[in-house]
Structure 1
């Protein structure tokens, strides 16, 4: 079922596009609240879920289990490298992962398998900062 394009959904889409890296619904709501938009947290959650379902936003689960969102750059299936420190995100293709996922699914009698692969680490800049601090 398609979501209506309301001004609230458009404002959430714009705020997500302006955000750096992945953000939580709570953080996005705080930004919108600070801008006196009057958009409630439940509306932000609904809009983000709709954007993710339509492919307009990437969604992932942080290592802590929190749902995070980012305006989608690529419309094709992809994976992410995500800095645990600054949130910098790089979209990557991973043909080896695609082949492995299909092979494992097939070996176990599964068809139509889907997967999500997000790799968390430190980007070069944050790793250099950490090394300098040690």
Structure 2
């Protein structure tokens, strides 16, 4: 585990305040807008460390790494709104069973996987269909 510095704690706190995945550049900009002197390279390092230690989830979207605070020590998947970015952590036992089965059928053991499901959240689907929000 990396040592906890004020910079790392600032990144952890800023990430925890987001409901959506965010890029290092966007998180850096918000920290700087809040008066922090933290450097972009430090934000990148802190996010990578948090992801490696299980405190943040990471995904690639349009060639860019995006990060989100997550519940450490739990294996989970995400539902991600393509429109607003709302992200919900979900358990998916059927996915776990399927992944183990497919791996075993091909002679693989110790299989790991990442599953992110992209769609439209209820609010964005209503907006796109012209139905007013409830």
TM-score, normalization by structure 1: 0.92
Unaligned 5+ runs, structure 2: none
Residue 130 of structure 2 aligns to a residue in which SS?
A: helix
Q: RMSD of aligned C-alpha atoms? A: 1.3
- Which residue in the other structure is 1:44 paired with? 43
**1:102 maps onto 2:76 in alignment:** no
2:91 to 87, 90, 93: 93
Quote how far apart the aligned CAs of 1:68 are: 1.0
**Count of residue pairs the alignment pairs up:** 131
How big is each residue's C-alpha offset from its partner over 1:91-111, in whole Å with a ceiling of 9 and x where there is no partner? 111111111111111111111
Detail structure 1 runs of 4+ shifted over 3 Å in the superposition. Answer: none
**1:132 maps onto 2:99 in alignment:** no
Residue 80 of structure 2 aligns to a residue in which SS?
A: strand
CA distance in 1 between counterparts of 2:51 and 2:36 reads 22
Quote how far apart the aligned CAs of 1:32 are: 1.0
- Which residue in the other structure is 1:35 paired with? 34
- Which residue in the other structure is 1:83 paired with? 81
Unaligned 5+ runs, structure 1: none
Tell me, yes or no, if the aligned pair for 2:54 and 2:72 is still in contact at 8 Å: no
Residue 69 of structure 1 aligns to a residue in which SS?
A: strand
CA distance in 2 between counterparts of 1:132 and 1:94 reads 31
Quote how far apart the aligned CAs of 1:60 are: 1.5
Quote how far apart the aligned CAs of 1:74 are: 5.7
CA distance in 2 between counterparts of 1:7 and 1:77 reads 28
